[in-house]
Every structure is written in C-alpha cells, then in structure tokens.
C-alpha cells in the first residue's frame, strides 16, 4: 500500500514569509519604494507610485510641461547599461525557498546543462553536499529540485556548490525560464549560422584541396587553400564552439566529464594537429574540426526548439495567472504582486482581465471563461457568493473578488507544480540509464586515448591514429541515452495537461499502460455527482420540512454530494439550519450529531437504511425520544403497542424507496428520538459521456462498479451502462480490500473515484484516478486527476501512456544500439570524424523527434 506525504509548499514566484515582496519601483526615479510608504498620484485609471513627495512633484511638473519624452530617452540610455545579475546573490534564491520547518525546498534553473552527464554530475555534487536530502535535475527543463535540512546547510552553500562545478544557477521563475530558453535557442542559432557559413566556404576549398592530392596541385596553390582552411575554421572552432571549450575547461577544473569535453577535445585536437601539420607541410584536417562543431550545433539547436515546443503547454498554464492584481483597501486601489496576496484580500477584476487567484465573488456578477482550466467551452455565470478560479477570464461585468488561497495553493499553481514533479520523477529505466551515463564519458575518453596509442604502437601514422581517436570521441552519444526517457515523460505530461489530465509521476505512465482491471465508484464518477432532491417520504408536509431541516443541519459543512443536495433542498424551501455539535462520521454509512432546535436538543442520524434503523433501536429509550415532536408522530399514549417505526422503517416508505432504488435513485434516511422520520429520494443523472467512454475502456480492461450506495441503486446504474459486475453498500475499507484482493489475484487495478470514501482504495490501486470535481483528499491521494472532469479522457490517457511506454523503449534501444555499434566502427577506422559528428547529432535528433510523436494520433485536445 502506498502512502503519500503532503505538505504546503509555495509556488515558484511566491516570496518567502521572512522576506518582503518586491514592490514596484518609483515611477520617476526607479528607486525602490520604502516599505509602508504610500505616495501616489491618480492619472486617469492608472495609479502611479513614488518613493517620496519630491519625485511626485517633479513628475507632475514634467507631465504638465509636456516633457514625457524625458522618460523615453532615459529608458533608452538605461537599457545600454550593464544589468546587475540578481542570480549572483543568495538573497535572490531565498525568495523562492519553500517550507518553513526543519526541511526546505527550492527549484533552481541551471544554465549550461547540455547532456545527461551534466544532469548526473549536478545530482551527485548536490547529494554530496552536507545537509542535502534530495536532489533531482530534469534534463528536459534543466530545473533542479533540491531539498535540505535547514539546520545543516543554507541556500548560499547550495548555490555555491552548483557554481563550483562550472554551471550557472538562477531562480526558477517561469517567465524568466521561458525567456532563458528562447535566448538559448537564439544564441545556438547564431552560433550555428556562423559555423554553417564558414564551414560551407571551407568545404569548397577542402574539396579542391582533396582533388589536388589525387590529381596534382602546385605547392603554392595548396598552401593558399590550407591557409584559407586555417582562417575559415578558426571562428567555427573558437567562436561557434566557444561554449564547448569553456564548459570543458570548467569541467576539467572541477574534475567532471560530460559531452562538451568530448566535443571540445575532438574539435580542438583536430585544429591544433592541423596547425602543426601545416607548419610541417603535411595533410591538414581543418574541415574535420569545423564540421564537428557545425553538426553538433545543428543537433543542439533542433533539440532546443523541440524542448521549447514540449514546454510550451506548461508556460501557457503558468501565464494564466497575471503578475499583478488591483487590491482594494477601503477607498484606495493599489497594484500589488499576485505573490503578495493573502486570503481575505479584496480584488477588483475588470472586463477582459484574468482573475488573479481563486476566491469568491463579493460584488457584481459576470460570466467567466474557464476553458483553459476545466474544458468548459461556454462562459460560466458567476454572481455574489460564487467561486471563481484564478486564471479564468472575466468577460462581461466588473466584479470584486475575495481571495481564498495564497498563490501556492491556487488551482493553477498546484497543477503546474504537480506536472513539474511528474517530470522530475525518474522511472526505473531512467535511473539505470543515468547510472550508465555517469561512467560513459570517462570510459569514452579512455577508449579514445587507447585507440590512438595502440594504432601508433602498431605502426599506423599519427594522422590516422588521431582521426580514429577523434571519431571515437565525437561519435559517442550519452545525450541520446539521457534524453530517451525524460523527454518522452515531458512530452507525455504536457500532452496530458493540454488534454485536461494531471499525472503526478513519471512511473504512473508504465502503470497506466499495464492496467487490465478498472473499478469505478458510482456517485460523481459514473454519474454527474450533483444529485437533486426528488421527493421526501414522510407523513405530511410539516413532517417533511422538519426532517429536511434536521438532515441539512448535519450536512451543512459536508463535502459529500448527497449532503450538499440536502442542504440545497433545505435552502430552496427556506428552512432553518439548526446548530449542531459532536458530529461523528460513520464512513460509508452516514453521520450523527446533536442538533439544538428551539424546542429541544436531539440526537440525529442521517444515512443509509441500516444506519438509521440501528439508531432507532439504540435510542428507543433515549430521554429525548419521549419528548413530543410537533412535526412527527406522537408516542402511543397507551404504551400497549409500539409504533413500528420505533424499530423499523414504515413499510409503505420502505416499499416506495425500493422502487426508486431499483430505478437507479438513491434514498437517504433521517432518524431522531427513536424514530425514522423521513426518507429523501435523490436522483443523480448518468454522465452523458459515460456510455461511450465505458465502451472504449472495455477493449482495454475488465470493468466493475464498487459503490457505497444502496446495492439496488448501484445495480440499476451499472445495468443502464452495460456493466455486469456491480457491488453496492461497500464501506471505504471494503473498497480498499476489494482492490487489494484483485491485485493479489494478478490484476493491475485502476480505481476511479471522487470522494473521501474512495481515498483508501485510490491509494491501494496501481493507479488511482480522481475526477476533477472530487474532494481535496481524493485528489491528493490519486495518481491521476481528470481536471476537465470528462470520463472519456481516461481511455485517451491510457492510449497515450501505452504510446509513451513504447517510445521510451524505442529510444533506449536506439541509444544503446547506436553506441554499441558506432563506437567499434570508429575504432577500426570505418567512420571518418565528420561522418561520426553527423551520426552523433542524428542519434540525439532521432530520440527527440521520436518523443515528439507522442500524442500525434490523439485528438486535437491532446496536442500542444
């Protein structure tokens, strides 16, 4: 049985509790505004903030005299100044630390990661840092998640450790991370363009030079072509290939070996050896040095573009929340960072703006677009008291919203964080591949040196020995091995997120692909989960109202769909909701509490038939049972014959209830004072997409229904959906035991539910799935959350998981097969270094392009 520990963490971009949020700078001088100072100027609908009254007065003068061009000129000159890199300060990272107890956590974007060896090295260095408990680097996004003991180390030490290995750590801010990726792609494109231009010119002269070697060429002409090769290859090796060289030097100083070391050693060796050969008047290999760099840069650029595309869905999700919000403080409006908002803050949301954080409408009414969050295609009406989700677009009217959560707890932030954690979680195959990558580069370097030494010892010329050694260096490809799984997992998770499904772990992919048995809860899973009160089985109308008032009083704080239906019914009839105390929940059966009504205090039970009749038997002698009830049946004054409802249900009510249950409706009972007072008939419609979804799922797995509802009701709903296996009256423990028994028999079980009662079974299953409108505990326990609350997503998700697992196996097979075959070919001299460089780039590209195929056959909703 799996257990999952949950704790509150702040989202990327939310300041630490011990540090003030960064305020907007002064509108005039751009200096920071002192904490607590509020010097403002209203200009139209805009509120301008200043650091002092002097700056406000100067701004007023400039504005009055029409001299606003001063600010444009100043901005232009400021843009040319070197900007202080905030990431150089440990303080910049402190603002993004999560947790305030003994253990802290931080996401760090690491610049300079180019291959799987970089990932392996950073993880090893971090894990060897005293106090660090956990370190995982996502190769696809270059983001490290680090967890440490607060009393053993600090942020500054951790950041310094990353820098000591030659990498550049930065705070993991989504907008900055996206900009950093775009900047990296642009730089790669510029360097590749430069390399391609000079290398193409070089190859023309090299072709003429090679022809001259065979057909004859004058010494002067040969010398000119060789000098041209020297000049044309220099910018390729030392400018375009500069990042490889710098990274290799930093790595060697830190005693780390990655792909950049192989590329730098190969290209620089070819260049330096060619210079020596030029001085001695022998054959040169400038073309080899240049083409190695050009081809590797081409592969890196295409890989960068592919990663950006795969990450785009996550960027779009994060961009749903605005950076700033208009907060209302009395009659004052102020523009504040969303990360600084707290529950209870009141916000103004204008037409066309996005709701900054989850909350409730406290003034006005509107329609909001929630299509990006829930998949609801039509605008949703929201009025006072209605909940609004952060990121939803206000379309009609101006509203005021009271914030209910901090940024980290918003729905968008939680989805984004869960997706990132899923991408960080390494499947078993990837962990094995990472262990191999850790020794791969040193082994290749050793093999390259041995190749050269052995060939020279066997009488081969140094030129041939060098070419083979370089071929060994550049043809090896740990990148393909490192990319095989994380890129596929990243594409899967972004495709799933785009399709409205949240998958919490990379290992869930394999479990989804193996599922052969699916167990469904009924209410809220196969049905809409919004039952409506259809009828009250009671003596008369006053008794009906009294019973509903009592039952709703117990359920007023309930998250269960039936409890909510009873409360809605009571409010629609304007019935009083009485205070209650001592609430006890009998999981899967009902609730009981003491209700204080004007005419007395009553022990009340609401729940299943067995639960309330048990109450009737247990409370026949209850002192409250002797009290006359103005809306119920009076006790028999003669005491000669007890009312049958003192121990059982009224036979007429019971018969009518069974008819409803046989038709798929649910009946909930209420009892107090030793009597069952009424039954509530609730009708919950079957989901529109359920028949089609279940038909598709039957082709993949056996299906059954397991519900806490009445057995007759459960059977009726299952029969309506064509399911032959259905069990009702199951408690939470019954559900968990059923899942455990199925898995013990060899089944790989998926449990699909939405309520607190489903949490044990969700945790027990190989894959737990919660519907998007499910309770918090169900969604926290589940491995998969169907955010868009559409059951048809389940089969599409399983198909996507099967496709992803196949792609991972294909990627790993290709990466291993390529290296096992290609390196020996380089050793024996069959592959020239230029061909080797092209093959290495092609190997990584094949893995990238194969991963991008994931989801290409799925519906448009799954495409990024």
**Structure-block tokens of residue 787:** 């955010």
pLDDT (mean) for 520-548? 87
* Of 345, 358, 409, 521, catalytic: 521
To the nearest 10 degrees (0 to 180), the angle between helices 462-475 and 259-280 is 160
Q: What per-residue confidence (pLDDT) applies to 81?
A: 37
C-alpha distance from residue 379 to each of 248, 394, 395 (Å): 55, 9, 8
Q: Which of 81-90, 365-374, 715-724 has the lowest mean pLDDT?
A: 81-90
Neighbours of 344 (CB within 10 A): 9
In CATH terms, the superfamily for domain 532-634+643-683 is Calcium-transporting ATPase, cytoplasmic domain N (3.40.1110.10)
Confidence of residue 434 (pLDDT cuts 50, 70, 90): low
Closest CA to 534 of 655, 678, 684: 684
Percent of the chain with pLDDT over 70: 76
Q: What per-residue confidence (pLDDT) applies to 634?
A: 39
Per-residue pLDDT at 774 exceeds 80: no
> In sequence order, what are the residues at sequence separation of 6 or more whose Cβ sits closer than 8 angstroms to the Cβ of residue 273?
285, 463, 466
Whole-number Å distance between alpha carbons of 235 and 241: 8
What's the order of all strands across the beta sheet hosting 359-363?
332-337, 324-329, 346-349, 399-403, 359-363, 387-388
Q: What per-residue confidence (pLDDT) applies to 261?
A: 80
Closest CA to 632 of 579, 670, 681: 670
624 close to 602: Cβ distance less than 8 angstroms: yes
Per-residue pLDDT at 89 exceeds 90: no
pLDDT (mean) for 227-248? 90
Per-residue pLDDT at 88 exceeds 60: no
Tens of pLDDT, residue by residue over 137-170, are 877 678 888 999 988 888 888 988 888 777 888 8
Considering the four listed CATH numbers 2.40.160.40, 2.70.150.10, 3.30.200.20, 2.60.40.10, the one that applies to the domain covering 324-409 is: 2.70.150.10
Q: What per-residue confidence (pLDDT) applies to 515?
A: 94
User: SS3 breakdown of the chain: % helix, strand, coil, rounded to 5?
Assistant: 50, 15, 30
Tens of pLDDT, residue by residue over 662-687, are 888 889 999 988 888 899 998 888 88
Q: What per-residue confidence (pLDDT) applies to 306?
A: 67
Tens of pLDDT, residue by residue over 161-214, are 888 777 888 877 665 566 666 777 888 899 999 999 998 888 888 777 767 666
Confidence of residue 240 (pLDDT cuts 50, 70, 90): very high
pLDDT (mean) for 102-107? 85
Q: What per-residue confidence (pLDDT) applies to 482?
A: 65
Within 551-691, strands assigned E span 580-586, 590-597, 600-607, 666-672, 675-683
> In sequence order, what are the residues at sequence separation of 6 or more whose Cβ sits closer than 8 angstroms to the Cβ of residue 160?
none
Confidence of residue 11 (pLDDT cuts 50, 70, 90): very low
**Structure-block tokens of residue 152:** 């053993």
Whether 521 is catalytic is: yes
CA angle 201, 206, 207 (to 5 degrees): 100
Q: Which residue has the tokens 């869905």?
A: 313
Per-residue pLDDT at 347 exceeds 90: yes
Q: What per-residue confidence (pLDDT) applies to 389?
A: 85
Instruction: Give yes or no on whether 90-172 and 532-634+643-683 have one common fold.
Output: no
pLDDT (mean) for 651-661? 88
Q: What per-residue confidence (pLDDT) applies to 636?
A: 40
Percent of the chain with pLDDT over 90: 14
Instruction: For residue 526, report the phi and psi dihedrals to the nearest 5 degrees.
Output: -85, -20
Q: Domain segments of the chain: what residues?
A: 90-172, 324-409, 501-527+688-789, 532-634+643-683
C-alpha distance from residue 45 to each of 30, 334, 362 (Å): 21, 11, 22
Instruction: For residue 108, report the phi and psi dihedrals to the nearest 5 degrees.
Output: -125, 130
Confidence of residue 623 (pLDDT cuts 50, 70, 90): very low
Of the ranges 3-7, 9-13, 423-427, the best mean pLDDT one: 423-427
In CATH terms, the superfamily for domain 501-527+688-789 is HAD superfamily/HAD-like (3.40.50.1000)
C-alpha distance from residue 215 to each of 18, 209, 228, 551, 757 (Å): 77, 10, 20, 102, 85
Per-residue pLDDT at 583 exceeds 60: yes
813 close to 271: Cβ distance less than 8 angstroms: no
Q: Which of 271-280, 406-415, 568-577 has the lowest mean pLDDT?
A: 406-415
What's the order of all strands across the beta sheet hosting 675-683?
532-537, 675-683, 666-672, 600-607, 590-597, 580-586
Coil/strand/helix, residue 323:
coil
Confidence of residue 43 (pLDDT cuts 50, 70, 90): confident
Whole-number Å distance between alpha carbons of 759 and 417: 21
Of the ranges 272-286, 375-389, 592-606, the best mean pLDDT one: 592-606
Confidence of residue 509 (pLDDT cuts 50, 70, 90): confident
Q: Which residue has the higher pLDDT, 478 or 512?
A: 512
pLDDT (mean) for 350-362? 89
Per-residue pLDDT at 392 exceeds 60: yes
Average pLDDT of the chain to the nearest whole number: 78
CA 240, distance to chain mean position in Å, is 35
Per-residue pLDDT at 22 exceeds 50: no
Domain 90-172 in CATH 3.30.70.100: yes
Tens of pLDDT, residue by residue over 309-332, are 656 656 666 667 787 889 998 888
pLDDT (mean) for 351-357? 88
pTM for the full predicted model: 0.58
């Amino acid at each position: 049985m799996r257990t999952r520990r949950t704790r509150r963490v702040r989202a990327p971009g939310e300041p630490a509790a011990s540090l003030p949020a960064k305020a907007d700078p002064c509108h005039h001088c751009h200096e920071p505004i002192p904490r607590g100072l509020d010097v403002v100027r209203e200009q139209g609908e805009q509120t301008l903030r200043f650091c002092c009254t002097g700056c406000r007065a100067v701004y007023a003068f400039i504005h009055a005299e029409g001299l606003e061009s001063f600010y444009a000129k100043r901005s232009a000159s400021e843009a040319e100044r070197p900007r202080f890199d905030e990431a150089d300060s440990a303080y910049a990272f402190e603002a993004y630390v999560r947790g305030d107890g003994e253990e802290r956590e931080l996401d760090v974007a690491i610049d300079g990661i180019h291959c799987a060896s970089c990932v392996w090295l950073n993880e090893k260095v971090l894990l060897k840092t005293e106090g660090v408990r956990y370190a995982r680097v996502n190769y696809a996004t270059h983001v490290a998640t680090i967890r440490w003991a607060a009393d053993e180390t600090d942020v500054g030490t951790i950041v310094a450790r990353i820098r000591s290995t030659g990498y550049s750590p930065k705070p993991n801010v989504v907008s900055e991370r996206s900009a950093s990726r775009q900047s990296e792609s642009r730089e790669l494109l510029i360097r590749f363009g430069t390399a391609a231009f000079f290398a193409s010119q070089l190859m023309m002269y090299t072709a003429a030079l090679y022809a001259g070697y065979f057909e004859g060429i004058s010494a002067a002409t040969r010398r000119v072509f060789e000098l041209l090769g020297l000049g044309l290859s220099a910018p390729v090796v030392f400018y375009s290939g500069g990042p490889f060289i710098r990274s290799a030097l930093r790595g060697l100083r830190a005693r780390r070996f990655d792909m950049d070391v192989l590329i730098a050693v190969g290209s620089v060796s070819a260049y330096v050896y060619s210079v020596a050969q030029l001085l001695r008047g022998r054959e040169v290999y400038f073309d080899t040095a240049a083409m190695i760099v050009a081809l590797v840069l081409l592969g890196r650029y295409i890989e960068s573009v592919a990663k950006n595309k795969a990450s785009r869905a996550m960027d779009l999700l994060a961009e749903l929340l605005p950076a700033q919000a208009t907060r209302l403080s009395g009659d004052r409006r102020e523009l504040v960072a969303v990360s600084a908002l707290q529950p209870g803050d009141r916000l103004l949301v204008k037409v066309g703006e996005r709701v900054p954080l989850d909350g409730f409408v406290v003034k006005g009414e509107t329609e909001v677009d929630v299509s990006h969050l829930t998949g609801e295609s039509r605008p949703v009406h929201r009025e006072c008291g209605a909940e609004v989700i952060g990121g939803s677009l206000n379309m009609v009217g101006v509203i005021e919203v009271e914030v209910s959560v901090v940024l980290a707890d918003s729905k968008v932030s939680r989805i984004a964080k869960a997706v990132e954690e899923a991408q960080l979680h390494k499947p078993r195959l990837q962990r094995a591949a990472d262990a191999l990558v850790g020794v791969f580069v040193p082994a290749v370097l050793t093999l390259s040196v041995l190749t050269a030494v052995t060939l020279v010892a066997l009488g081969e010329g140094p030129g041939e020995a060098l070419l083979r050694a370089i071929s060994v260096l550049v043809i090896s490809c740990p990148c393909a091995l490192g990319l095989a799984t994380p890129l596929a997992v990243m594409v899967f998770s972004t495709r799933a997120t785009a399709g409205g499904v949240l998958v919490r772990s990379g290992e869930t992919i394999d479990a989804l692909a193996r599922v052969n048995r699916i167990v469904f809860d009924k209410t809220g899973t196969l049905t809409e989960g919004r039952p409506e009160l259809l009828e009250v089985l009671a003596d008369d109308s006053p008794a009906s109202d009294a019973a509903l008032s009592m039952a709703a009083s117990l359920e007023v704080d309930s998250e269960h769909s039936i409890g909510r239906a009873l409360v809605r019914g009571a409010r629609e009839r304007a019935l009083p909701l009485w205070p209650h105390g001592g609430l006890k929940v009998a999981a899967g059966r009902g609730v009981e509490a003491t209700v204080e009504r004007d005419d007395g205090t009553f022990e009340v039970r609401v729940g299943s038939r067995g639960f309330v009749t048990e109450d009737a038997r247990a409370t026949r002698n209850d002192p409250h049972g002797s009290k006359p009830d103005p809306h119920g049946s009076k006790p028999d004054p003669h005491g000669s014959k007890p009312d049958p409802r003192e121990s059982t249900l009224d036979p007429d009510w019971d018969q009518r209830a069974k008819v409803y249950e046989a038709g798929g409706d649910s009946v909930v009972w209420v009892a107090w004072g030793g009597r069952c007072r009424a039954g509530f008939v609730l009708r919950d419609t079957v989901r529109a997409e359920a028949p089609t979804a279940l038909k598709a799922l039957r082709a993949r797995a056996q299906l059954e229904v397991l519900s806490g509802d009445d057995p007759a009701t459960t059977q009726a709903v299952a029969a309506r959906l064509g399911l032959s296996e259905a069990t009702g009256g199951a408690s939470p423990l019954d559900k968990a035991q059923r899942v455990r028994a199925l898995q013990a028999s060899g089944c790989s079980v998926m449990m699909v539910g939405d309520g607190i009662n489903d949490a044990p079974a969700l945790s027990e299953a190989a894959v737990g799935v919660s519907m998007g409108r499910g309770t918090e505990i169900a969604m926290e326990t589940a491995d998969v959350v169907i955010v868009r609350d559409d059951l048809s997503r389940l089969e599409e998700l399983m198909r996507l998981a099967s496709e992803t697992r196949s792609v991972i196996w294909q990627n790993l097979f290709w990466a291993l097969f390529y290296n096992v075959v290609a390196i020996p070919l380089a050793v024996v001299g069959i592959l020239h270094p230029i061909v080797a460089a092209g093959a290495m780039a092609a190997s990584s590209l094949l893995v990238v392009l194969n991963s991008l195929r994931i989801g290409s056959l799925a519906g448009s909703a799954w495409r990024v």
